[in-house]
Structure 1
Amino acid sequence: MQRLPVPPPPSPLCPPRIRRSWEATSTKDQHLFVQAVALAMDRGFHQLFVDIHAETLGEAHDSCVFLLWHRKFILGYENMLRSLGRRFACVTLPYFDYIQHNLNYLHGKCTSLESCSPFLTGLGGSTSGHLSSQPLAGFAFSHFKCVDAFPASHACAVPGSDCMRCIPRGAWTRTYFNSTALSFTSIKRVLFDADDGMTALSLRIERSPHDVFHFTLSAALANFVVAALDPVFYGHHATIDILAVIHHRCQGRTRSTQRTSKPCGRSKEASRQRPCWTACVPTSVDEYAVTRPWFQHVPLTYGDIVDTTNLGVHSYRYNLTGLLGTLYSHCDHAGMNHTANMELQANSEDYEDDDQHVVMDVADVDSL
């Protein structure tokens, strides 16, 4: 791949980094995010992250560092968007709140994956486009519509070549939620039913909801080699990151910061500075100078990125709403009748401490 020019550093004048759901993000900031993604595609930076993800599948998936590898990965992507110019210097990743959307679907407030998910329509939806036989990284998606709505219209598998200008997507208007896997009860069980540490938690979350939702979205997003081409990927993984945040707050503060000398994950050559969750020495495998500023000053070891509020200039928090806010606030007691009144009282007193995430407008747990 061609070497790209080093981007300018982001402005240091940004407010604290707080990621919000797409619905809680202002219209102005929604447009800013989508425009940043399109510009990143035009400059070839977006594709660098597709390649990083594809080249490090052995460490990124089916390993105990699945959650933390992707935490650093999407943080680097967010930093990349911020490097695109002063206009984008404070942009943040929105998260895709499909846990809440699934509940809305069950309550009959919407009828399909797309109609329940403003995030999907905000990133171009699934209806505008055409069938295409052009392969993507050697994979054929000829049975899926290649969506050419903005920002997918800027997609380019190989910068500088004859670009596809579209992304293969599933028929989201005719796709339904896997309501069992995405239910409040299932998510709570994944997070709290077993007290068996970060490794087991990571593998459980990877199987469900992570894998389940990738396959529900289908097309490019169901192929982990090319999934990161679709910007929906980053909103999905921000939600997966929230599950790790919830577990850390509720159960993992002490255990998750422990080190072990046992290797974690399959070692595989990557295209960036590969962090290390265990006591091993990180190996520098970053070939491209252009990617280094996006990961600069992000801790190298996985154990040092467990707490997202303690990452120095890269620290971030989430504005949590609905069911995710309920889980963050009440942990394994969430959804129990004796907490319902506490939940309703908390709605009138939103809090924002230095070491906590923001919880607002939490759903009424009586209906769960």
Structure 2
Amino acid sequence: MRFVYLCNVLLLAAAAFGQTTCSKPRVRRAWSHYSAEEKALYIDAVALSMKNGYHQRFVEIHMEPTSEREAHGCLFFYWHRAFLFAYENMLRSLDSKYACITIPFWDYATIGSKFQAGSCKNMLDCGPLLKDFGGSLPRGRRALSQSVNGAGFQSDNCVSSAMTKYFCQSTSAFTSKSCYNCMPRNDWSKVSVPPDVNVLNIFNNILGASQPTLSSVTSGVQYGTHNMVHAVLDSVMGTFASPSDPVFYSHHVKQVQENFKINTIATVDAMHAIYYKCIVGADSLKADNSKVWSSCRNYIGKTIVPGDIIAMKVGETGTRTQSIWTATSSPIYKFFKDLKQTYPDYADISKLGYSYDFSDTALDGMYTNCKKFKPSKSLFLEEMDEKKHHKHHKAKKAKKEEGSVEKDCLSKEFDWIDEATTLASKYYTDPSDVYNQVHIMTCVYYNECRGGVYDYSDEFKENFRVEHGPPCKRVIDDLARGDCAIGVPNWEKIMLKHYQCDSPSEDF
């Protein structure tokens, strides 16, 4: 009876937030758990959204200066949560067979563990989602100079696939029937998986501070894993035209990976959900509550207050833009019209018609214990009984061999974290110091043994207004200057017990 009541509550909330007709609660799932039929359905829906001229209009909202400034400011989480709801509404509206579609999420942590273990070599090799979304192509004789909605950039190639074959770079190109009909992308087989993608770093970003605030968590997530993924994929993903690529939406939604008896959750949206539950709790949403609100200025220099309407303007660059909340003549207005229009409405996911089930996952301990959470192999690899396994694993299993590889890589990573934190705890008493030391160790390992740690390109820094390098790059630079140090003797022996190092320097 309680379950039926909960479902009804979620469905009513979903209706209030613009969900199209679907009898099921809105639940986003891992791409790796989609059946072949489900994958084909989602790919077809995205392709149809491009063919119908909807997709590029969402790109234009994300690029419009007023909208973009708020999207990548202190209210980063809330702005993108509303944006994703509308895009998902659009996909669901395309046909009755798409009515229950949700945006699939992308499992970073498994990709990171596989790369760190050496079982895959690059982003394309490590990430099946990238391959299924059309993959990438090697650079031709020269880089391509392309543009989307007026923003210029270079690409290695332009990929035409089942998902991207109708992509249009602007509304005017759509009207004149001069679309690219392919997706600008770089060669993803040439780039490594970022080093800052693991459960411990997620904890550091959202719960590691002694007094976490919305501002500190936003900064940690946005300028950490979020930016790293945009930067390594580059091309259109390295600009604010990034919603052009369907990868963008899976990058931003919650991610819940359930793979055999090992589960991983690592996501922009889920990170905030854990933060909200653990740090905000029952606190009311007030402008002076730093846990749920952060003051920053909008495009015209005015301080944003909770009652302000979310800035989302629709229209191609160079044309007169209009707030999507009042743009009744816009073809995509109908996907926004029933959504809430102020930021506080997007703070608590329990009021948005969807929820997270963290049980039997790698982050279950973090969600349950919050700041008392302590990484350990027993916590990560807690065995699920057969009943729970079948309850949560509804989609078809991945190939046994592939699942075994992922399980082995995750197990190896958790073994390493367990032993490294135990060793560091002998020299540091504050848990945040312990986790910081393990983070530094991981950065050094990547720099010495996994191909190096690199800065953002100058172009990316300019596009995303980034003043500092990626987290691990800053760590390596600090070590070189003597501004920080690893205070844990013989940590290298534990690292090399679990991971191979092909070409270590004399200092490693």
Partners of 2:238 and 2:146 in 1: how far apart?
A: 17
Secondary structure in 2 aligned to 1:96?
coil
Q: CA deviation at 1:137?
A: 3.1
Q: CA deviation at 1:281?
A: 5.7
Partners of 1:341 and 1:178 in 2: how far apart?
A: 25
Q: CA deviation at 1:128?
A: 7.6
Q: CA deviation at 1:89?
A: 0.7
Q: CA deviation at 1:143?
A: 4.5
Partners of 2:191 and 2:380 in 1: how far apart?
A: 36
> Which residue in the other structure is 1:316 paired with?
354
Matched length: 341
Contact 1:260/1:279 (<8 A) preserved: no
Alignment of 1:191-206 (within 5 A): 191-194=206-209, 195-206=211-222
Change (3 A) 1:334 1:216: farther
Which sections of structure 1, spanning at least 5 residues, go unmatched? 1-8, 270-275, 352-357
Larger mean CA deviation between 131-140 and 260-269 belongs to 260-269
Residue 285 (1) aligns with residue 323 (2): yes
Partners of 2:341 and 2:386 in 1: how far apart?
A: 40
What is the aligned-residue RMSD (CA, Å)? Answer: 3.3
Change (3 A) 1:334 1:99: farther
Change (3 A) 1:302 1:144: same
Q: CA deviation at 1:255?
A: 4.3
Residue 336 (1) aligns with residue 336 (2): no
Change (3 A) 1:178 1:128: closer
Larger mean CA deviation between 235-244 and 133-142 belongs to 133-142
Residue 65 (1) aligns with residue 75 (2): yes
Residue 267 (1) aligns with residue 267 (2): no
Change (3 A) 1:186 1:82: same
Change (3 A) 1:80 1:281: closer
Partners of 2:363 and 2:122 in 1: how far apart?
A: 21
Partners of 1:218 and 1:299 in 2: how far apart?
A: 32
Of all paired residues, the percent bearing the same amino acid is 28
> Which residue in the other structure is 2:280 paired with?
252
Change (3 A) 1:231 1:332: same
TM-score, length basis structure 2: 0.60
> Which residue in the other structure is 1:27 paired with?
36
Of the three residues 74, 82, 96, the one matched with 2:84 is 74
Of the three residues 314, 336, 340, the one matched with 1:295 is 336
Q: CA deviation at 1:350?
A: 4.5
Q: CA deviation at 1:38?
A: 0.4
TM-score, length basis structure 1: 0.81
> Which residue in the other structure is 1:164 paired with?
180
Matched to 2:119, the amino acid is K
Secondary structure in 2 aligned to 1:41?
helix
> Which residue in the other structure is 2:193 paired with?
177
Residue 146 (1) aligns with residue 146 (2): no
Partners of 2:309 and 2:145 in 1: how far apart?
A: 44
Change (3 A) 1:342 1:189: closer
Partners of 1:331 and 1:122 in 2: how far apart?
A: 35
Larger mean CA deviation between 168-177 and 254-263 belongs to 254-263
Of the three residues 84, 102, 105, the one matched with 1:95 is 105
Larger mean CA deviation between 21-30 and 77-86 belongs to 21-30
> Which residue in the other structure is 1:3 paired with?
none
Partners of 1:57 and 1:341 in 2: how far apart?
A: 39
Matched to 1:94, the amino acid is P
Which sections of structure 2, spanning at least 5 residues, go unmatched? 1-17, 254-266, 312-321, 395-402, 418-508
Q: CA deviation at 1:35?
A: 0.7
Please say which structure displays the higher CA radius of gyration. 2
Partners of 1:220 and 1:143 in 2: how far apart?
A: 8
